[in-house]
């Protein structure tokens, strides 16, 4: 009888852990996708802002007044940061793979935590560079 109770306890414990880990996996996946979904629609705005900044820098560079050199440099550097942030999002999307349902849950959790850190960093870079770019338009 003690063996049966012990076995039932072990099965119940394993099931509870699996359920808790599945919930954790689902929550992490939702966080990763939420970060992605927040900034993905901004990619067009990022490209347009970078293009506008480059055009403004090109326009200023035709003037002979040297007072615009610092502004031109700032415009070009900000446009480059925007383009870099946009490319990092593209890189993240290319490398991201939805975890396989057959993969061990512990590995999936480690992968999703890593991906959350990566997409959060990309998101921050995109939003910050876009804000800087809009301020310079």
Inside any domain, residue 41: yes
Inside any domain, residue 66: yes
The domain containing residue 106 runs over which residues? 23-136
Number of structural domains, the chain? Answer: 1
Q: What is the DSSP string of 89-114?
A: HHHHHHH--PPPTTS-HHHHHHHHHH
- Gyration radius from the chain CA atoms: 24
The predicted pLDDT at position 1 comes to 55
Inside any domain, residue 6: no
CA distance linking residue 18 with residue 55, whole number of Å: 55
Inside any domain, residue 12: no
DSSP state of 62: T
> What digits encode the pLDDT tens for the residues 65-97?
677 889 999 999 999 999 999 999 999 999 999
SS3 assignment, position 65: coil
Per-residue pLDDT averaged across 8-33, rounded?
75
**Which phi-psi region, left, alpha or beta, contains residue 104 (left: φ > 0; alpha: ψ -120 to 50)?**
beta
Inside any domain, residue 122: yes
pTM: 0.82
């Amino acid at each position: 009888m003690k063996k049966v109770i012990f076995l039932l306890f072990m099965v119940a414990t394993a099931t509870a852990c699996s359920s808790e880990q599945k919930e954790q996996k689902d929550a992490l996946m939702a966080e990763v996708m939420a970060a992605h979904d927040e900034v993905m629609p901004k990619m067009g705005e990022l490209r347009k802002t970078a293009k506008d900044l480059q055009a403004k820098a090109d326009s200023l560079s035709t003037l002979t007044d040297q007072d615009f050199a610092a502004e031109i440099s700032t415009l070009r550097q900000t446009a480059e940061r925007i383009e870099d942030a946009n490319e990092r999002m593209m890189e993240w999307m290319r490398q991201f793979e939805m975890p396989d349902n057959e993969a061990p849950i512990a590995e999936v959790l480690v992968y999703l935590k890593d991906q959350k850190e990566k997409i959060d960093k990309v998101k921050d870079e995109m939003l910050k560079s876009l804000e800087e770019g809009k301020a310079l338009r």
